[in-house]
A and B are shown apart, each in its own frame.
Chain A
Amino acid sequence: MPPKKAQTRRIVSLDSLFGHTLLNITGEPVTPTKIAIFQLIRTLFHAHFGVGAVPSLKPFDKDEKTRVFTVLYGLIIMKSEISYDDFRCIVRILNDGLGRSIYYRFVTSMEKLAHGEDQIEMLFEDAFYTAKRPNHEKVLKREDSWLDELTFMNSNSFLYIWIKRVMMQYTRTSQNGTFEIAEKFQKWIISGTLEIISHPILSGINRALPTEIDCSIRARHWCAAQLRLVQLCPTKAMSYFQILDWCDTIHRRHHDVVDVHLLRAAIFVQLKNSSDAVKSLKQFFDMSMLEITENSKHALETLKLMSPSQVALRFGPILQGRVHRIFGERQIASALFAESIQQSQVNVDDMCNRIANMEVTINSIYMSGPLLQRLSGETFAAGKKEEESVENERRVQQNSVHAAVDLNVPTLRSLQKNFREDYELHAFLVSMCKFLLCIQDMMDGKFFKHNSTADYVSVGFHRLRLLLDMNNKGFVLQAFANAIMTSGLIQSGMYHQAKRVAETMIVSNCDAPNSPILETESHAVAGVNLVYSLAAVGDYEKAQKTIDILKNRFPENINWMAARHVDICSKIVNFERNFLLNKYSECSRHLAGLETSAPLEFVLRKSLLLAATGKLAEAVLLLGTYECGDVRGSMRIHMQMATIHTAYGQFETAEIQIQEAGKVAVNAHFLDANLLVVRRVGSLMLGRFMAREAYQVLHALSAKIEHFGSFIEKAIYHVSMARCLRLMHKDPRVHLKQCKAQIIGNKWPAMEKLLLTELTILHHSGGLYPDEQKEMKAKERFGKIEADFPGPCTWMFI
């Protein structure tokens, strides 16, 4: 049947206008080694198949073919050039195994080329492509039936495609270029050394580039790999400036590789350069508005390859919005997401619709801030202001998220629309949606209530685990979930549990051939939470070690998004540690810089420091003027005020504050809320010398303090209990012992002094258990501590 005649309609040919797509692709750069490989293939092919009309009498059998292709594949995947001498060695080895004068023929053909008797020909005879021929009658019939028809190479094989790519590049080389190639090749053969080919072919499109990016395919691959590393494991990626450099080269050399702009955008985000990031993103999406058509039938009929694509319209706003979100421009981001939703609905793209909706949710969740202190102060305030305007829109779109969660099975429509939207992505989205719902529930303070939240998550995870996790998407999501879980646990005072989750997560994050160690923000958060939980149980040594490890793993200049968590954490923990040691000047040093990165923590700690140094009014003012949008935050502020007032003996004001805190705590879902507030009520009563009442209040907490108290809370609780009991003339020694257990190792000298005071009173001649020796011992110890850590021993009721 004659081939169907190509129909060309009278339309503008995008191919010719924007540069034929094929013209823009760079194939394998032609180098002497590659020409030699071509010669070798030709020699081998002749040996197997015969020359021209004369069939070979001795085709390769299966083993021989395996040997041939092992060598050929070895040659083509080699990254560097080799010299002619080495090449001959390889052919000789091949010859030793196969015979058939392969070495002789190969060298003869090469020598002919070198002396200009033959021309470089990067083509094979037709038989090579048809690749089938009945066996010569003289060839011995073998038992294997596959030898009845000779074949040399499958047209789907990697080698075949590689050959095509080299051929394409050679055909496209300009006359100048082919002259140059010929010259270099001749020199390569004659000299037999590598020196002259260290810069194989210098000019034009054949100029030497790093192997990773010397042709379009590899450049694309390199971009994808770096993009993934930059996002998941920045320390493993190339240095950012080198990447930008290479990107520049690719942009100039491979006009068809538009991915490079995407990579550039990611790098600019890491370099905190939002404007250039947006610029690069726009370039990427604008350039990808035309793509190679997927409709091969249409392409064959019209001989046109380019077709317009609307994908950029849908996904462009999403990514731009993400960049704005990362840099805190929440309102712009939300407008962009809305546009993406609108576009995806116009174009009936379910998947995009879902992603955009999810981004809207993430935008609103992240920016309202209460869950974690991960926002800078400025954006937090700005977010508050804009809250209302977005609120409405958010609610509308929230519904869509819930709707998406219901779709447990990918709808037919969404998969038909674009077959590249694979199952994996869908499952990822569903899990993500569920997970977001979960976070929302946490934000609304209902995550311990019995509803389907937990089921959401478990179902989502389950689906993820069933998948082939190609790009670690599932793993990343899992890490994210776990990180949030650790935060949730810490917020509820379950320090040991948080520690265990974080440890598991960090331990299971290991290097595998296809996935690097993940260095995402989630991992930083988990690491930080590990530090917090270590600090909360009083293990400062380990906490400090962990911080050092984290600082190494998430360097500020490479991974700022993760590094800011570590920075905040290190400051907070060091503050606490030094504060307990009464080193106030050190403390204020740690506070510097915290004001913008974590305003709430800053206010709490600054006021504490002010109060401790006697500036009561300032401390109260600072606390009172801070606007807190977070439940736990406001509870902490009230509690802190109460504590400060108690310490200064202003019990009425303290009582008001503690009542306020109580009001918040009653409605909060945090498991330790009740404990925290009631313990302070107890302290307040004790401060008013109402020992009996205090005892009643505190006694009820005995179970909770074991479960949810940090070591500071525990120490204070026990010492308070001891004092209550002493005042009530009962035996306080159990509590004193437990208090001692918490503060072992000079962590909190002030508390230890208090403890020793209690002990002295207890063992004093007028006390409950007079014991002169023990009293002396306690006094001695007190004196020693006083010498090591001078300072008053007030400030016990934090």
Chain B
Amino acid sequence: MNVSFSTPVQNSTASRLALIQQAAARSGALPPAGQYRGSKLSPFDVSQMSGVSISMVERAKINGPEFVEELEWLRQQTTSRCFLDAEMWTNEILAHLPDKWCAPNTLNLYNQVSELVLDNTRSPMASPASNSLYAPGEDQMPTVKRNHTSRFAQSLIKNKEFRRAAFFLEKTMNGNKLDHFLHFRCLFLAYYQEHLENDAEGIERKTSFAEERSPFSLLYQRMEDKKLRENEDVWFEYLMGLLEVELGLKDLAEKSFRNVVIREPRIWPAWEALSRLIADIEDADKFVTSAEVKSLWMGDWFMTLVLQRFHQHSMAIQKAEQLVTRGMTGLPMIITKIAACSNARHDHDQAISNFEDVRKADPYRLGDLHLLSDSLYIRNDQKKLSTLAIEVYKVHKFRWETCCIVANYHAIRRDSEHAIKFFQRALRLNPGLAALWVLIGHEFMEMKNNAAACVSYRRAIEIDPADHRGWYGLGQMYDIMKMPAYALFYYQEAQKCKPHDSRLLVALGDIYSKLNRIEDAEKCFTGAYLFGDVEGNALWSLAKLHERYSDDNKAAQAFEVFLVVYELVTSAEEKIIYAIAFLANHFFKIEDFDKASEYATKCLAFETLCQEGNRLFREIAKIQARESRLPVEEAPGPSNASAAGGQEAMDTEEAPQEGGEEEMSEGEDDFSF
């Protein structure tokens, strides 16, 4: 048996079956109901499939108090520094903390920390280190007034009056470390806000605004001049990283964020920013596992985000589930992420059930809910989708997630125009989301407006050239227009974006087979099966491909594997019937009577194939009877009668042309995947 897995496999029939089952498990055809699909795969399997290997070390349970302490620190920091997003993120986790971690001793710690926090923010002299910040004679403002001013500035920030806040902070920044930071933070926010406001004037030509020397660069220069990167306050470096992102200096930004994480692993915002910048998974993994970074759990969560960004959804789910097993149960953030990844790998039942769990705990949480609507749409669950749409529309009319959900609701009712309208609204609210353009494209395809669909998909690609759905949509469109050669390019591009997606491979294989490029098609189908065939078409297509090009032996192999994998899947019955009929006749023709009768027996299980099975039994019996009557005669080769019988048998099938030499016998099948 030639199997090109790198796993050493015993050369025996038993192991062959094991192999097939292994492949079936990967293809996801036989997941026991209610079980996580992802959890069935070993890390080895996953890395085999994706070609990426990361460390999947099982780590000990998370220490509750430590965990809480970490977050408490972050909460205090983000609150005092007005990182509102991060503050909310932290508080959400703390609010959903597992009960056992909310033990009294933790509470003590919390009090301790919060006192410290209050102390630190209110008085500039809290830590001895900050003494040095006072230059003699600078303290012109009375301490009380200064405290009032800085508190005023903080509330200004919360009310989004950044310039004003910066103005007041300028007065107090010399006396207070925190205000010093906040001053720069305010300027950054002010410029950012102005940048966005300017942007709104010309949505169509956003890029052209980036060409001038922006205030960001002036601020960056100023911070460089003051050597704030080397400041003992690590948040300065983080802020510079943010500036670098705005200035398009991705490499520098990545370096800054890495540095921040090394200096202070508890700063989650830096992790998050880094997850959007890091160049590849292995690099991220190396970074997380390196000795310099000491993090309790954020490294793992960071890896989850990175894996999701690179479309390694199975591994992302594994990473997330590891966190759950280590004790972080019931956190909406993690469950939503698992759901989103399940959605991306088309495990919609899983996604729906996870999203529903989250919604039970936190009904008004909108994050990633558009993916729930997507899963519901694909599962064609009109009832749930309309309930969802009504609920969210009542609460958050003008969030892009809501618009997306409502659009999906219209789409499921085949009201494409309304769907497009809402997708359009979602786009206005979040123009950087390529997926929305893809969905608009799909709706246009429904409306048979190819041209508009085409331009929509193009828009998706323009926003994110690595979005496989845009390319795939274009390919599909041209494919529908019966232009396979023209569509080929798009499928190839799609496949480049997501090399291990079986659906893309199957589509590519179909195109190749339309263009008579058989070897290429074969490679694609085989690859699709090995990478875990999501839709279950790969084997079938492979078998049909070989059948079409009269390579019956190979077709039979593929059909056999197909049967092993899909025999119990009810939705594939028609294909199963076809496969059984083909195999029974094929083995009869090549005179492998044992196998022929095995498949003839299987024929009997189906009403439509009953007669065919009986006929084959009769033929086999005839031949065997003749052979036993003439045991001395030399040639037991094909007699005229059997050949004629075989010919008849083929009438029900598309008759394979050649006689077929005895190449295969049981247990020696040549699996050349």
Residues of A within 8 A of B (CB): 10-12, 14, 16-19, 23-24, 174-176, 202-205, 207, 252-253, 255, 278-279, 282-283, 286-287, 289-290, 308-310, 312-313, 316-317, 320, 332, 335-336, 338-339, 342-343, 389
Whether A317 lies near B458 (C-beta < 8 A) is no
Task: Give A313 Cβ to nearest chain B Cβ, in Å.
Answer: 6
Whether A290 lies near B452 (C-beta < 8 A) is yes
Whether B208 lies near A205 (C-beta < 8 A) is yes
Contact with A along B440-477 (1 / 0, CB 8 A): 10001001011110111111000000000000001000
Question: Which one, B204, B440, B447, B515, contacts A19 given CB within 8 A?
Answer: B204
Whether B485 lies near A332 (C-beta < 8 A) is yes
In the complex formed, the residue of A with least CB distance to B485 is: A335
Selected A-B contacts with CB under 8 Å, 29 pairs: A12-B416, A12-B420, A17-B440, A17-B452, A18-B455, A18-B459, A19-B203, A23-B204, A174-B202, A175-B201, A203-B209, A204-B208, A205-B205, A207-B211, A253-B205, A253-B208, A255-B205, A279-B489, A286-B454, A286-B455, A290-B452, A290-B455, A308-B449, A310-B451, A312-B454, A317-B483, A317-B486, A320-B489, A342-B482
For B203, the chain A residues whose CB sits under 8 A away are 19
Whether B424 lies near A287 (C-beta < 8 A) is no
Chain B residue total in the interface (Cβ 8 A): 41
In the complex formed, the residue of A with least CB distance to B213 is: A202
Whether A205 lies near B212 (C-beta < 8 A) is no
Question: Which one, A207, A282, A313, contacts B489 given CB within 8 A?
Answer: A282
Whether B201 lies near A176 (C-beta < 8 A) is yes
For A252, the chain B residues whose CB sits under 8 A away are 207-208
In the complex, whether B417 has a CB less than 8 A from a CB of chain A is yes
CA distance A566 to B209 in the complex (A): 48
Among A11, A24, A204, A320, max chain B CB count under 10 A is at A204
Whether B202 lies near A205 (C-beta < 8 A) is yes
Given known A-B contacts A12-B420, A207-B212, A290-B455, A336 and B202 have beta carbons under 8 A apart: no
Whether A286 lies near B482 (C-beta < 8 A) is no
B interface, by DSSP: helix, strand, loop or mixed?
Answer: helix
Question: Which one, A24, A286, A389, contacts B204 given CB within 8 A?
Answer: A24
Whether B424 lies near A343 (C-beta < 8 A) is no
Task: Give B114 Cβ to nearest chain A Cβ, in Å.
Answer: 45
Question: Which one, B211, B212, B451, contacts A289 given CB within 8 A?
Answer: B451
For A313, the chain B residues whose CB sits under 8 A away are 450, 481, 483
Q: A316-B486, A339-B482 are known contacts; what are 18 more A-B pairs with Cβ within 8 Å?
A: A11-B417, A14-B452, A17-B452, A18-B459, A19-B204, A203-B212, A204-B202, A207-B211, A286-B455, A290-B455, A308-B452, A310-B451, A313-B450, A313-B481, A317-B483, A317-B486, A320-B486, A335-B484
For B456, the chain A residues whose CB sits under 8 A away are 18
For A202, the chain B residues whose CB sits under 8 A away are 212
Whether A287 lies near B208 (C-beta < 8 A) is no
For B208, the chain A residues whose CB sits under 8 A away are 204-205, 207, 252-253
Whether A289 lies near B485 (C-beta < 8 A) is no
In the complex formed, the residue of B with least CB distance to A317 is: B486
Contact with A along B501-540 (1 / 0, CB 8 A): 0000000000000011000000000000000000000000
Task: Give B509 Cβ to nearest chain A Cβ, in Å.
Answer: 17
Given known A-B contacts A286-B474, A342-B482, A278 and B420 have beta carbons under 8 A apart: no
Q: Within residues 151 to 210 of chain B, which ones have a CB less than 8 A from any CB in chain A? A: 198, 201-205, 207-209
Task: Give A454 Cβ to nearest chain B Cβ, in Å.
Answer: 37
CA distance A335 to B514 in the complex (A): 11
For A312, the chain B residues whose CB sits under 8 A away are 451, 454
- List the 5 closest pairs (A to B, CB-CB), nearest first: A308-B451, A335-B485, A289-B451, A174-B201, A339-B483
In the complex formed, the residue of B with least CB distance to A16 is: B424
CA distance A283 to B493 in the complex (A): 13
Whether A287 lies near B458 (C-beta < 8 A) is yes
Question: Which one, B421, B424, B515, contacts A335 given CB within 8 A?
Answer: B515
CA distance A175 to B452 in the complex (A): 32
Contact with A along B402-422 (1 / 0, CB 8 A): 000000000000001100110
In the complex formed, the residue of B with least CB distance to A23 is: B204
Whether A12 lies near B421 (C-beta < 8 A) is yes
Among B444, B451, B452, B457, max chain A CB count under 10 A is at B451
For B211, the chain A residues whose CB sits under 8 A away are 207
In the complex formed, the residue of B with least CB distance to A26 is: B205
Whether A317 lies near B455 (C-beta < 8 A) is no
In the complex formed, the residue of B with least CB distance to A255 is: B204
Residues of B within 8 A of A (CB): 198, 201-205, 207-209, 211-212, 416-417, 420-421, 424, 440, 444, 447, 449-452, 454-459, 474, 481-486, 488-490, 515-516
Among A176, A308, A332, max chain B CB count under 10 A is at A308
In the complex formed, the residue of B with least CB distance to A252 is: B207
In the complex formed, the residue of B with least CB distance to A286 is: B458
Whether A343 lies near B452 (C-beta < 8 A) is no
CA distance A205 to B205 in the complex (A): 8
Whether A308 lies near B205 (C-beta < 8 A) is no
Question: Which one, B202, B209, B417, B458, contacts A10 given CB within 8 A?
Answer: B417
CA distance A339 to B486 in the complex (A): 8
Given known A-B contacts A17-B440, A282-B489, A289 and B455 have beta carbons under 8 A apart: yes
For A10, the chain B residues whose CB sits under 8 A away are 417
For B207, the chain A residues whose CB sits under 8 A away are 252
In the complex formed, the residue of A with least CB distance to B444 is: A12
For B458, the chain A residues whose CB sits under 8 A away are 283, 286-287
For A338, the chain B residues whose CB sits under 8 A away are 485
CA distance A279 to B462 in the complex (A): 13
Whether A336 lies near B204 (C-beta < 8 A) is no
CA distance A17 to B481 in the complex (A): 24
Given known A-B contacts A174-B201, A252-B208, A286-B455, A343 and B481 have beta carbons under 8 A apart: yes
CA distance A16 to B203 in the complex (A): 12
Task: Give B493 Cβ to nearest chain A Cβ, in Å.
Answer: 8
Task: Give B98 Cβ to nearest chain A Cβ, in Å.
Answer: 47
Task: Give A792 Cβ to nearest chain B Cβ, in Å.
Answer: 54
CA distance A10 to B482 in the complex (A): 30
Whether B417 lies near A17 (C-beta < 8 A) is no
CA distance A18 to B424 in the complex (A): 10
Task: Give A392 Cβ to nearest chain B Cβ, in Å.
Answer: 13
In the complex formed, the residue of A with least CB distance to B424 is: A17
CA distance A487 to B30 in the complex (A): 68
CA distance A14 to B211 in the complex (A): 29
In the complex formed, the residue of B with least CB distance to A14 is: B452
Whether A176 lies near B198 (C-beta < 8 A) is yes
Whether B454 lies near A289 (C-beta < 8 A) is yes
Whether A17 lies near B486 (C-beta < 8 A) is no
CA distance A389 to B516 in the complex (A): 10
For B457, the chain A residues whose CB sits under 8 A away are 286
Whether B417 lies near A289 (C-beta < 8 A) is no
Task: Give A305 Cβ to nearest chain B Cβ, in Å.
Answer: 14
In the complex formed, the residue of A with least CB distance to B474 is: A286
Whether A336 lies near B485 (C-beta < 8 A) is yes
Task: Give A244 Cβ to nearest chain B Cβ, in Å.
Answer: 17
Task: Give A778 Cβ to nearest chain B Cβ, in Å.
Answer: 69
CA distance A23 to B447 in the complex (A): 26
Whether A17 lies near B202 (C-beta < 8 A) is no
In the complex formed, the residue of B with least CB distance to A321 is: B485
In the complex formed, the residue of A with least CB distance to B417 is: A12
CA distance A335 to B516 in the complex (A): 10
Whether B486 lies near A290 (C-beta < 8 A) is no
For A342, the chain B residues whose CB sits under 8 A away are 482-483
For A389, the chain B residues whose CB sits under 8 A away are 516
CA distance A66 to B89 in the complex (A): 73
For B424, the chain A residues whose CB sits under 8 A away are 16-17
Whether A289 lies near B440 (C-beta < 8 A) is no
For B482, the chain A residues whose CB sits under 8 A away are 339, 342
Task: Give A334 Cβ to nearest chain B Cβ, in Å.
Answer: 9
CA distance A320 to B455 in the complex (A): 19
For A16, the chain B residues whose CB sits under 8 A away are 424
Task: Give B197 Cβ to nearest chain A Cβ, in Å.
Answer: 10
Task: Give B460 Cβ to nearest chain A Cβ, in Å.
Answer: 11
CA distance A290 to B424 in the complex (A): 18
CA distance A278 to B492 in the complex (A): 12
